[in-house]
Amino acid sequence: MTINLETIDDVDAGWVHFPRGDQLIRGYLAVPKGDGPFPAVITAHENLGVTEHRQGVTRDLAREGFVSLTVDLFSRLGGVSPRNYRDNDERRSLAFLAARDDQAVPDLQAGVEFLKSLPHVDPDRIGALGFCLGGGTVMVWGTQTDDLKAIVSLYGIPVLPPEYSPTGEEQSRIPTLGSLRAPIQFHFGADDEAIPHDQIDALEAALPTSATTAEFYRHEGARHAYHDDTHKNYNPQAAAETWNETLEFLRRYLS
């Protein structure tokens, strides 16, 4: 296990490595100034990996008082998403397969164990945040652990198409609502062009089947990846609303 942090934007941040069995997983960690113990948030990134923007959001969470760890789900690929693609559709497909649930969820759980080992983390106040690819992954993760006390999912695809699924068959995450072990909050753009709207509608309609509290927000005028201020779809108003709702939710269940 390695931890090398430096002060960036008033928090201590940097790359870390932690074990999952005999494998070493990479992550980007940010820690608030002070003694703690602090609540913690583990982030599952989108299909582009731990980008500079994702590192920035990790530090943003630390500035809000959370120990923040973004787990690199492409650790086995050298920390970069798959590169042997012909077009954007194949790029996304390869990324989802490289970070498939049966591999990504144990990686995230290893991140929990790493955080629990840190003296400034309160092990009873850990939540999860996921974007795009990771937005669906944290939903699945929430059915398999009691360590998470809150989950926030941003524009995670509710139904994996066959080309995103390791079985080659469509795989719906919607039935997992009934097995969730932690409260969850969903965010989508009303004009999302990457996720079929009937899937988003079906997820919203299924919220009463959730085993836990489930909140749902659809942001008008927002497209896919609207929270990323480096993306062409960035929507400042929707991003600010989502961030405020996310922080309120995390503080509600991790305070």
pLDDT tens-digit profile of 36-77?
899 999 999 999 999 999 999 999 999 999 999 999 999 999
Domains of the chain: 2-254 (3.40.50.1820)
Q: Of 130, 155, 105, 146, whose CA–CA distance to 42 is shortest?
A: 130
Q: Of 203, 205, 212, 158, whose CA–CA distance to 184 is shortest?
A: 212
The pLDDT mean for the chain works out to 96
Q: How many CA atoms lie within 13 A of 103 on its CB side?
A: 16
Q: What are phi and psi of 97, to 5 degrees?
A: -70, -35
Which tokens sit at 166?
A: 């390791």
In this prediction the pTM is 0.97
pLDDT tens-digit profile of 78-127?
998 888 888 888 999 999 999 999 999 999 999 999 999 999 999 999 99
Q: Which residues of 228-250 are buried (b: 16+ CB within 10 A; e: fewer)?
A: beebebbbeebbebbbebbbebb
Q: Are the CB atoms for 151 and 182 separated by under 8 Å?
A: yes
Q: Are the CB atoms for 25 and 42 separated by under 8 Å?
A: no
Q: What is the pLDDT of residue 1?
A: 74
| pLDDT band, residue 9 (cuts 50/70/90) | confident
pLDDT tens-digit profile of 137-151?
999 999 999 999 999
